[in-house]
Amino acid sequence: MNYAKETLCNALAAEYVLGTLKGKARQRYETLMMENQTIRETTWLWEQHLNGLGEGLKPVQPPPSVWNNIQQKLGWVAQSDNVVTLKPEKSNSKRWQVLAGLSTAAVLLIVLLMPLTQPTVEPNISSVAVVTDQAHQPLWLIELSDNHIFTRATSNLVAQQNKDYELWMVPDDGSAPVSLGLLPKTGDVQLVRPSQLTLAGVSALAVSLEPLGGSPSGSPTEVLYISPLTKV
Amino acid sequence: MEQETLFPLLRGTAQGNREDFAELYKVASPQVFAVVLKLLKHKELAEEATQDAFIKVWHNAANYQRARGTVLTWIISIARYRALDMLRYQRVRKTEDTEPDSMASDEENNFELEAKLSHPKLESCLDELDAQQRQAIHLAYFNGLSHLEVVQHLSSPLGTIKSWIRRGLVSLQRCLSL
């Protein structure tokens, strides 16, 4: 690498780590990093330089819920007592009307699963979605309450072990999808619904195939399924 | 935070030892959370970034290389990239309740670090920078500000700010590599 290229490489790496390299330039740089060892190593060097700054900040203890969520997302803990899974709501006939409009298989599956759960808290479910594959087999059941997203993998799901499945909200206005978290490969996972998101202007959920741990770029890597979100 | 403490915990994490991972989280998460909280200025988003970062650490612990810095620096890098992505999403969406608070307050311009940097040379090299260069880099690092936002913040033309950041980074690199 000649001097000019080395200087450019250093400048790009530094701005990438700093965060001032943005948009398409940032995406192009991420591609370059994948292809070029020198660029990757230069980036690592700047990570060492600049992220040393972060070590100078006074530590702040995160709340215990963060560790609890990590364990849940890694599938290490069963759903705790206060975690709510799919369940029937006696008084909510409208919800059943909506479910009646979903695929027969999906509804049948929900009906079969619901009696199995004994929730301790009554969630205020506002929307539901059933993610189905191309053959319309339900893969995940998803319910949204004011604060949480309840997800359950069905037995139809044949999950790739070296990949994760990430759930996204797809805004109507064409803006970028917003990650809601990783879906379970088996069993239930309760995700925290981002408080800044409202359902107005969101009509669909998407599921993407991602490297383990979720999207490395913040955008869906490979969208597999899109499912309409239905208010109840 | 000593590499001697964190590296064995990361090695255990790479081998699937959950207790080591729990200890790694316990020791490193307050520093990681501090960085993303300062960047995002929103507690729930900072919690999400910390959570996502440690999930990534669990899955990718075996990929850590010493060339990527100390274990803590590596984890901070993962968390900070995640926080930068989240910050961009929030700005694209212009979500009101995640707008950074008091962007123009004097407090925001105060980047006195509370603790000694584990990289003493970084500290001395930062001290050697011009005040404007140092402030522009600090704003970009701690607040995640783009060039344009730094312009608004420092009330200087974009070209000047870009120049401060670039020259500052070049000087920093020269000083650090000596």
DSSP chain A: --HHHHHHHHHHHHHHHHT-S-HHHHHHHHHHHHH-HHHHHHHHHHHHHHHTGGGGSPP-PPPHHHHHHHHHHTT-SPPPTT-------TT-HHHHHHHHTS-HHHHHHHHHHGGG---SS-----EEEEEE-TT--EEEEEEE-SSEEEEEE-TT----TTEEEEEEEEETTSPPPEEEEEPPSSSEEEEEPPTT--STTEEEEEEEEEETTS-SSSS-SEEEEEEE-EE-
Q: Which residues, including other chains, have CB under 8 Å from residue B36's CB and lie 6 or more apart?
A: B45, B46, B49, B50, B53, B79, B80, B82, B83
Min mean pLDDT across A211-215, B67-71, B134-138 is at A211-215
Mark which of B65, B80, B100 sits at the end of a domain.
Answer: B100
Based on the fold, state whether residues B49 and B93 are members of the same structural domain.
Answer: yes
Mark which of B44, B71, B100 sits at the end of a domain.
Answer: B100
Residue with tokens 């929730």: A119
- Contact list in B for residue A197 (CB cut-off 8 A) is 95
For residues A166 and A177, give the distance between their C-alpha atoms in angstroms, rounded to a whole number. 11
Based on the fold, state whether residues B131 and B144 are members of the same structural domain.
Answer: yes
Say which residue, A192 or A205, is predicted with more confidence: A205
pLDDT band at A154 (very low <50, low <70, confident <90, very high): confident
- Contact list in B for residue A58 (CB cut-off 8 A) is 34, 114-115
* Mean residue pLDDT across chain B: 82
What is the mean predicted confidence (pLDDT) over B118-127?
Answer: 80
Contact B115, A55 (CB under 8 A): yes
A78 interface with B at CB cutoff 8 Å? no
pLDDT band at B159 (very low <50, low <70, confident <90, very high): confident
Domain extent for B33: 1-100
pLDDT band at A87 (very low <50, low <70, confident <90, very high): very low
Contact B152, A87 (CB under 8 A): no
For residues A182 and B146, give the distance between their C-alpha atoms in angstroms, rounded to a whole number. 29
Based on the fold, state whether residues B88 and B127 are members of the same structural domain.
Answer: no
Residue B67: the pLDDT is 83
- Contact list in A for residue B68 (CB cut-off 8 A) is 44, 47-48
Which is nearest to A144 in space by CA: A218, A202, A214, A101?
Answer: A202
Domain count, chain B: 2
> pLDDT tens digit string along B21-78?
999 999 999 999 999 999 998 899 999 999 999 999 999 999 898 888 899 999 999 9
Asked if the model's pLDDT at residue A99 lies above 70, the reply is: no
How far apart are the CA of A160 and the nearest CA of chain B, in angstroms? 15
Which is nearest to B117 in space by CA: A56, A230, A109, A24?
Answer: A56
Residue A220: the pLDDT is 85
Mark which of B65, B100, B135 sits at the end of a domain.
Answer: B100
Based on the fold, state whether residues B41 and B26 are members of the same structural domain.
Answer: yes
A11 interface with B at CB cutoff 8 Å? yes
Say which residue, B164 or B145, is predicted with more confidence: B164
Based on the fold, state whether residues A52 and A154 are members of the same structural domain.
Answer: no
B62 DSSP assignment: G
Based on the fold, state whether residues A138 and A223 are members of the same structural domain.
Answer: yes
Question: Which CATH number covers residue B154?
Answer: 1.10.10.10
Question: Which CATH number covers residue A140?
Answer: 2.60.40
Based on the fold, state whether residues B10 and B96 are members of the same structural domain.
Answer: yes
Domain count, chain A: 2
Domain extent for A189: 64-231
Based on the fold, state whether residues B151 and B107 are members of the same structural domain.
Answer: yes
- Contact list in A for residue B169 (CB cut-off 8 A) is 10-11, 14-15, 18
Based on the fold, state whether residues A52 and A151 are members of the same structural domain.
Answer: no
Instruction: Give the residues across from A128 on adjacent strands.
Output: A143, A230
Instruction: Give the residues across from A129 on adjacent strands.
Output: A142
How far apart are the CA of B151 and the nearest CA of chain A, in angstroms? 12
* Mean residue pLDDT across chain A: 76
Asked if the model's pLDDT at residue A185 lies above 60, the reply is: yes
pLDDT band at A199 (very low <50, low <70, confident <90, very high): low
Neighbours of A6 (CB within 10 A): 12
Based on the fold, state whether residues A111 and A81 are members of the same structural domain.
Answer: yes
> pLDDT tens digit string along B78-88?
999 999 989 88
Based on the fold, state whether residues B76 and B18 are members of the same structural domain.
Answer: yes
Residue B104: the pLDDT is 32
Min mean pLDDT across A172-176, B71-75, B93-97 is at B93-97
How large a percentage of chain A has pLDDT more than 70?
75
Based on the fold, state whether residues A35 and A88 are members of the same structural domain.
Answer: no
Based on the fold, state whether residues A33 and A111 are members of the same structural domain.
Answer: no
Based on the fold, state whether residues B95 and B114 are members of the same structural domain.
Answer: no
Based on the fold, state whether residues B22 and B53 are members of the same structural domain.
Answer: yes
Say which residue, A77 or A52, is predicted with more confidence: A52
Residue B14: the pLDDT is 93
Handedness of CA B101, B88, A176, A125 (dihedral sign): negative
Based on the fold, state whether residues B1 and B61 are members of the same structural domain.
Answer: yes
Residue B145: the pLDDT is 76
Give phi and psi for A11, each to the nearest 5. Answer: -65, -45
